[in-house]
Structure 1
Amino acid sequence: MACSPASEQNEAAEVLKQPVNPPIDQMSSADTKTSAAQQCNLVLGFDAWEPYQYVDVGGRVAGLDIELISGVVKNIGCELRYKQGAWVDLLADLEKGDVDILLGASKTEARQQFAFFSDPYRVEEFSLYIRKNDKAQAEHESLGEFVANGGTIGIVADYLYGAEVSNLLDDPDTSGLFENAIMGEINVARLLDEDIAGFLEDSFVGASLLRRKALSELIVAQGIIIQTGNVYVMFSREGFSQQQLESFNEELQSTKESSGYQDLLTEYAY
């Protein structure tokens, strides 16, 4: 593939658009009228990961996280531009202040040195997926029971699945029942080929994957769910204030208490 000029590459990386007009804007009961003094412009960095953050066929930045957080940001009187890039690069940009917001973040002490963290805006969870016609595997009520009965599970290398999976991976009696893959799509193929009995995938990513590939008649969520922790918004300390963070959290709480919040989660879950 021929290389693009540097200027064109930069333009491609900087997906700086007007924010989408998500239905989340109608969720909050808070007064969204703000004075000129409250106006601000923020750069939101995103690493494409459907259905949370991606560019749709019309060139719009879209996704569950984008719809949710862009509405909250708008309601505190700020406008968004978007910058697409790799997560590690965006994290460095946030530390320098070149990017103001990152979504889908885990809170660590190291990151708190250069970033504010919002209150949690959703919980990260993984679902176990099996073949739709596999009645035997559908009966199990826990991962421990699933593997105790010989069920092999596909996972993605370097993903963190929580304490239960870590314990099973550390146990020599069950570690061999987990198969690593470099990406989730490989586990889908392995399941259809009956090389594994199930696979773990982020619940929203799994639902999106089955929908996009029209596999809902072949693969289903088994019902076992693992919650691995809270998900936060990161704000650069270089371009976002403690006062703005407090306003954001107030608006976020109002949004989470609205019916529209659950409607949005349901929309992306199926």
Structure 2
Amino acid sequence: MPENRKIILILSILICLILLTIPNHGVAKEYTFVSLEFAPYSYCSNGTVKGLDVELLQECFRRMDEKLKIMLVPWKRALYMGMYGQADGVFSILLTPERNEKMFFSDPVRTELMTLYVRKDSKLVFNGDLDELKDFQLGVVRNFSYGNKVDNFVKNEISSGHIEVSVSPEMNITKLIRKRFDVMVGDKISTIGAIRKLGVAGQIRQLGEPVSSNNIYVAFSKELGHAGLRDRFNVALKSMRADGTWDRIINHYRELWDKQKDHLTNEVE
């Protein structure tokens, strides 16, 4: 081989090796995480996705120096996308054995209170024992988890025909008002907000104290091999708690809730 051709070949190989070591920022990975519209945790306002869980997720990914895309879709679809690799993960999610088989779960991001609701004129009382509700119709949302205590009760009662399933929290509230069932279960803060949004606060009351307090997580696709991404997320979440950012975001939404809470809970509780 002529000397000039050897030199050109060597230079070409060196250039290729150099290019391989340079990060290609033009094709940086964008991770897609999904959940449902579930104010105040995740909702769309003027074309922008906002909410408590949205801000926590965004801040973690900012610290990870990763691009994030958030989509709000029906809950059944969100679960399917996360469990079968059509999205990189799901947020605002409870841990169940079935979900744990398909996704890697983060450390707990926050907690929520599950509470029962009845129509305003209901004579039903509740002392915390779910077995007292066996003779009543209970309304739940399809594919929702309400924590082990409520989930196990629902599972045992499905065969009795005492469980009415809705496709969304709003539909569940509407069915309660229309007397399709006797008792509804839902996250306290989002349920009261949805009741207010639907304009039916004067028709529903809270039944007793919350039945459970549940951890809420971010789940990462096993199909896409995101164990490492989950681990990095946990590190970012831990740093947010350590430097006060987690408290700042939580307290911001708590203050917004407190501004509405008094007149809402007076009507609902």
Q: TM-score, normalised by structure 2?
A: 0.63
**1:142 maps to what in 2?**
128
Given the alignment of the two structures, is residue 261 of structure 1 paired with residue 253 of structure 2, yes or no?
no
- Distance (Å, rounded) in 2 between the aligned partners of 1:65 and 1:208: 16
Specify which of 170, 186, 202 is matched with residue 217 of structure 1. 202
**Residue pair 2:118, 2:184 contacting (<8 A) in 1 also:** yes
**Residue pair 1:152, 1:198 contacting (<8 A) in 2 also:** yes
**Residue pair 1:42, 1:79 contacting (<8 A) in 2 also:** yes
The AA in structure 2 aligned to 1:258 is D
Which ranges of structure 1 fall in alignment gaps of 5 or more residues? 1-36
**1:179 maps to what in 2?**
163
Aligned CA distance change for structure 1 residues 175 and 101 (closer, same or farther; 3 Å): closer
The AA in structure 2 aligned to 1:180 is E
* SS of residue in 2 equivalent to 1:209: helix
* SS of residue in 2 equivalent to 1:210: helix
* TM-superposition CA deviations, 1:181-213 (whole Å, max 9, x none): 333444423432345332112334312321211
Given the alignment of the two structures, is residue 166 of structure 1 paired with residue 152 of structure 2, yes or no?
yes
Given the alignment of the two structures, is residue 63 of structure 1 paired with residue 51 of structure 2, yes or no?
yes
- Distance (Å, rounded) in 1 between the aligned partners of 2:95 and 2:138: 28
Aligned CA distance change for structure 1 residues 256 and 226 (closer, same or farther; 3 Å): farther
**2:211 maps to what in 1?**
226
Deviation at 1:218, TM superposition (A): 1.6
The AA in structure 1 aligned to 2:119 is R
**Residue pair 2:136, 2:182 contacting (<8 A) in 1 also:** yes
Deviation at 1:69, TM superposition (A): 1.9
Paired-residue identity, %: 18
* TM-superposition CA deviations, 1:90-135 (whole Å, max 9, x none): 43336xxxx444312344678668754321012354210122344x
Deviation at 1:256, TM superposition (A): 7.6
Deviation at 1:66, TM superposition (A): 0.7
* SS of residue in 2 equivalent to 1:120: coil
Structure showing the higher helix proportion among its residues: 2
Which structure has the bigger radius of gyration? 2
**Residue pair 2:112, 2:187 contacting (<8 A) in 1 also:** yes
**Residue pair 1:155, 1:200 contacting (<8 A) in 2 also:** yes
Q: How do residues 225-244 of structure 1 correspond to structure 2 at under 5 angstroms? A: 225-227=210-212, 229-235=214-220, 238=225, 241=228, 244=232
Q: How do residues 196-211 of structure 1 correspond to structure 2 at under 5 angstroms? A: 196-211=181-196
Which ranges of structure 2 fall in alignment gaps of 5 or more residues? 1-22, 262-269
* SS of residue in 1 equivalent to 2:107: coil
**Residue pair 2:116, 2:185 contacting (<8 A) in 1 also:** yes
Aligned CA distance change for structure 1 residues 235 and 154 (closer, same or farther; 3 Å): closer
Output the aligned Cα RMSD.
3.9
Specify which of 149, 152, 155 is matched with residue 140 of structure 2. 155
**1:248 maps to what in 2?**
236
**Residue pair 1:157, 1:180 contacting (<8 A) in 2 also:** no
**Residue pair 2:118, 2:205 contacting (<8 A) in 1 also:** yes
Q: Which 4+ stretches in 1 moved above 6 angstroms?
A: 108-114
* Number of equivalenced pairs: 223
